[in-house]
Copies of this chain bind each other. A is one copy, B any other.
Amino acid sequence: MIVALAGGVGGAKLAHGLAMYLPPEEVTVVVNTADDFNLYGLRICPDLDTVMYTLAGVANPETGWGIAGDTFAALEMISRYGRSTWFRIGDRDLATHVIRTSMLTQGMTLTAVTGDLCGALGVRSRVLPMSDEFVSTVLDTNDGELEFQEYFVRRRHEPEVRGVSFRGIEVARPTDAVVSALHEAELVVFCPSNPIVSIGPILSVPGMRETLEACAAPKVAVSPIVGGRALRGPADRMLDSLGHGSSALGVARLYEGLVQGFVMDAEDAAYEPDVRVLGMRVLVADTVMRDDVDRRELARRTVELGRSLVESGIGAE
């Protein structure tokens, strides 16, 4: 059993690679939910949806979010009703939010709802929200305090981020499903997602870090920074403005003490000695996932790094 910690697009791609390389039932993806928000009375879980749609094979490969071939008739009508529509919800995607919200309103947990939706879409891996409590990322920027989607989508992640907080995280807990998945894990993969606002919230759920530390399996992180830049999104600028440095090394430092293996892109090979010093075995690989073959190959190499750690007695019980 492999547990992958993931945010949106990059995390979903590697999770998909893992589910292709391994029997998909042996993969559990623990997903960031701190960018969840409510819009038009509906609960929207962007990262959960990206992971679910990607694993279901219905994700839109061009946008990185939403469903391939989706249409926007409902959103046009919502706009006609005078509501702002900067968050682009397709018609099929809207169905997800409607059904999710109705199940949550009936008292189901987000974990149960996600299991139901994933099952309906034929996803054979387990997709688990990091917690069932509602957490929201708030960014302190040079343009004031911004909710995550406000910053990320509406403002196209242009403002400079000076601080990050996760509202509601103090009462969040890792779910039983997450705890038992980590308990059974033979390998934990930190996917190439934004370490600050995707993996960061997962690690910030009270009790999650302790659960990870108590988990005997080796842990391997894959850098989302390639050649100093994020492939998508604001991770590079965020790492810089928060003082971590926009590099594979900056990412590795954030995971120091938590992971024993680190996968970085060939472009970043110069950082290898510095990352080793942090106590990590380093794999230099091509980490850019252009297609399914790339996803599966990066998954394979990441899993093999994990196996090599086990063989060396690192992270083994």
A: residues with CB less than 8 A from B are 40-42, 67, 70-71, 73-78, 80-83, 90-92, 94-96, 98-99, 101-102, 105-106, 116-117, 120-121
9 nearest A-B residue pairs (beta carbon): A41-B102, A77-B95, A73-B91, A77-B92, A74-B95, A91-B91, A74-B91, A81-B120, A78-B95
Interface centre among A67, A102, A106 (most CB of B within 10 A): A102
B94 near A81: Cβ-Cβ < 8 Å: no
Q: Which of B40, B70, B102, B105 is A99 in contact with, Cβ under 8 Å?
A: B40
15 A-B residue pairs with Cβ-Cβ distance under 8 Å, sorted by A, are: A40-B98, A41-B102, A42-B102, A67-B77, A71-B73, A73-B90, A76-B92, A78-B95, A81-B95, A81-B96, A81-B116, A82-B120, A91-B91, A91-B94, A94-B94
Q: Which residues of B contact A75 (CB under 8 A)?
A: 95
Q: Which residues of B contact A98 (CB under 8 A)?
A: 40-42, 74, 78, 94, 98
A83 near B71: Cβ-Cβ < 8 Å: no
Interface centre among A42, A67, A99 (most CB of B within 10 A): A99
Which residue of chain B has its CB nearest to the CB of A97? Answer: B98
User: Complex Cα distance A96/B116, Å?
Assistant: 26
B78 near A91: Cβ-Cβ < 8 Å: no
| Seed contacts A75-B95, A81-B99, A81-B117; 5 additional CB < 8 Å A-B pairs | A42-B98, A67-B77, A70-B73, A74-B74, A77-B95
CB distance from A246 to the nearest CB of B (A): 38
B74 near A120: Cβ-Cβ < 8 Å: no
B82 near A41: Cβ-Cβ < 8 Å: no
- Given the interface contacts A41-B105, A94-B94, does A83 sit within 8 Å of B99 by beta carbon? yes
Which residue of chain B has its CB nearest to the CB of A101? Answer: B41
CB distance from A117 to the nearest CB of B (A): 6
- Given the interface contacts A41-B105, A94-B94, A105-B41, does A99 sit within 8 Å of B78 by beta carbon? yes
User: Complex Cα distance A71/B76, Å?
Assistant: 12
User: Complex Cα distance A76/B67, Å?
Assistant: 13
Q: Which residues of B contact A120 (CB under 8 A)?
A: 80-82
Which residue of chain B has its CB nearest to the CB of A96? Answer: B77
CB distance from A82 to the nearest CB of B (A): 5
Interface centre among A80, A90, A98 (most CB of B within 10 A): A98
Q: Which residues of B contact A92 (CB under 8 A)?
A: 73-74, 76-77
User: Complex Cα distance A82/B82, Å?
Assistant: 32
User: Complex Cα distance A41/B121, Å?
Assistant: 21
User: Complex Cα distance A164/B218, Å?
Assistant: 67
User: Complex Cα distance A70/B71, Å?
Assistant: 11
User: Complex Cα distance A121/B78, Å?
Assistant: 11
User: Complex Cα distance A167/B71, Å?
Assistant: 38
Which residue of chain B has its CB nearest to the CB of A121? Answer: B80
